Amino acid sequence: MSSHEFHAEDDSSQATTGTPVGPITVTSNGRSITRVTWRETDTESGQLHDTGRGTAGPDVDHTDPLLGEALRQLRAYFDGTLTTFDLPLDLGQISATARTVLTTLDETVEPGTTVTYGELARRSGTGIPARAIGSIMGLNPLPLVIPCHRVVASDGLGGYSGGRRGEGLATKRWLLEFEDALPRPLF
């Protein structure tokens, strides 16, 4: 797995790139990636709008080399040439337990695999119940990069707060099929 550094957040820049699961905005403070969010498109104006999980910004070249590298890695992921992100990350102001769970997810769940909420709770060693894992996945400020889409319920997909509004589960299914963690539908 990649090794990630977690730093404190300060000034930030961001850029948006189109992906098969919708426009994604990446935010950087120059030392770390601090946020990955989905953007909404206004079908009448063609304008991009923030989904409420970060600050909106145009798809432009930035002087922040880390932001450029993050966009390059995202594009390579969706091109199928990158399976593991290697970027310095900042999880922001989250609890030590949430940080441990997200770090465990990042370090132990490989591309093309899934883990149940209960198994991730066990692996993390935090003693929290499986139900709490779902809440922590919803807090993940870096979806895709820290692959919360790979965490599933013991009896199905579970939930997913990523993706465009109203398309969370479809986005999760698409990502898992794309990574060959789920069989593709026959029809």
The pLDDT tens digits for 25-42 are: 999 999 999 999 999 864
> Dihedrals φ, ψ of 115, to 5°?
-140, 145
Stretch 80-106: mean pLDDT, rounded?
96
What confidence tier does 52 reach under pLDDT thresholds 50, 70, 90?
Answer: very low
DSSP 20: T
Percent of the chain scored above 70 by pLDDT? 81
CATH topology for 96-178 is Arc Repressor Mutant, subunit A (1.10.10)
Cβ contact 176:158 at 8 Å: no
Identify which of 132, 139, 95, 100 has the alpha carbon closest to the alpha carbon of residue 117. Answer: 132
Which residues of the chain form CATH 1.10.10.10?
96-178
Residue type, 135: S
What integer best gives the mean pLDDT of the chain? 84
148 catalytic residue (yes or no): yes
Residue type, 74: L
**Among residues 144, 148, 152, 176, which one is catalytic?**
148
Q: What is the pLDDT of residues 134-157, one digit of tens each?
A: 999 999 999 999 999 999 999 989
* Exposed/middle/buried for residue 186 (C-beta within 10 Å: 0-12, 13-18, 19+): exposed
Beta bridge partners of 13: 28
Cβ contact 125:88 at 8 Å: no
How many angstroms separate the CA atoms of 65 and 99, rounded?
Answer: 26
